[in-house]
Amino acid sequence: MVNKNAQEWLEQNHIRETIKELYISRKSLEGHLDLSDFVNLEKLYCSENSLTSLDLSNCSKLKVVNCSSNQLTSLDLGSCSNLTEICCNFNKLTKLILPRNLTSLKNLELEGNNFNQNLSFLKGAINLESLTLVSNDFEGSLEYLKEMGKLWELNINDTHIDSGLEYLPESVKKFHCLAKKRLKARCQTIFNLFADEQGEVETRDYGWIKGFPQKLQAYKQKLQEQSQQTTQIRQAELPPKS
């Protein structure tokens, strides 16, 4: 199929002001797509094209955006404060600007991009339920997710996130942290914490850690006991009060 200039195709096929839902996936579109005057747009599906940039600067009513499998290197969603779902897997993203208020966001998928940063940009997404970060150079700690009391599914496969397991909320039921395709991915450090005496980690379908809620609780309890023991030892080493 012959690729079509995205903006030219849009000019010919859509009346901006009345559109609430836009389904333009698999249309062989390429280049820049300006939707800034789709002021009533609530849902956008533009996956599996060859888009290189996307302008959503005036789309304040947007709730769902799926722009997976394009050629995007950056995405500015700063004006879209009502977003509940963002899916931008398999692009070339190095920069994602999210709205200042993230309390509406429930699902975020960023698999297969070029991010190289920690998770501080997610700090305000306290109502997030599902988070996919697979195959990126995300690094550092899970501590930034500690306020996400509704998070139940988390996938950090093939990332460099290697600490902060103790900060995960106990709402998480499905957790995946395997170095699967990128064998040097440091997330394996967290995965290895769940190994039994034989060095094996029990997993379920698709590699989710089996019995994760119970294992997370046990891990937190172990850390707490270790902390208490350390405190007792330090207190015992103190010189007696005169």
Least confident of 9-13, 91-95, 127-131: 9-13
Q: Which domain holds residue 26?
A: 4-235
Q: Please tell me the distance from the alpha carbon of residue 201 to that of residue 112, in angstroms, as a whole number.
A: 25
Mean pLDDT over residues 16-28, rounded? 89
Categorize the per-residue pLDDT at 65 as very low, low, confident or very high, splitting at 50, 70 and 90: very high
Q: Tell me: pLDDT of 1 over 60.
A: no
Neighbour tally for 96: CB within 10 Å: 20
Q: Report which of residues 213 and 13 the model is more confident about.
A: 213
Query: Does 44 fall in a domain?
Result: yes
Query: Over pLDDT 90: what percentage of the chain?
Result: 77
Q: Is residue 8 helix, strand or coil?
A: helix
- Return the pLDDT at 230: 63
Report the CATH number that the domain containing residue 151 is assigned in CATH.
Answer: 3.80.10.10
Query: Does 90 fall in a domain?
Result: yes
Tokens of 14: 């859509």
pTM: 0.90
Query: Does 137 fall in a domain?
Result: yes
Query: Does 242 fall in a domain?
Result: no
Q: 143 with 120: CB under 8 angstroms?
A: no
User: pLDDT for 29-56, tens place per residue?
Assistant: 999 999 998 999 999 999 999 999 999 9
Q: Tell me: pLDDT of 2 over 80.
A: no
- Return the pLDDT at 233: 66
- Return the pLDDT at 107: 98
Task: Return the beta strands (E) in the chain as ranges.
Answer: 4-5, 21-23, 29-34, 43-45, 50-55, 64-66, 74-76, 85-87, 95-97, 107-109, 130-132, 139-141, 153-155, 160-163, 174-176
Mean pLDDT, the chain, integer: 91
Query: Does 8 fall in a domain?
Result: yes
User: pLDDT for 198-240, tens place per residue?
Assistant: 888 999 877 899 999 999 999 999 888 776 766 666 666 667 6
- Output the CA angle 13-18-21, nearest 5 degrees: 75
Query: Does 240 fall in a domain?
Result: no
Q: Tell me: pLDDT of 14 over 60.
A: no
In this structure, what DSSP letter does residue 83 have? -
> Number of structural domains, the chain?
1
User: pLDDT for 121-167, tens place per residue?
Assistant: 999 999 999 999 999 999 999 999 999 999 999 999 999 999 999 99
- Return the pLDDT at 117: 98
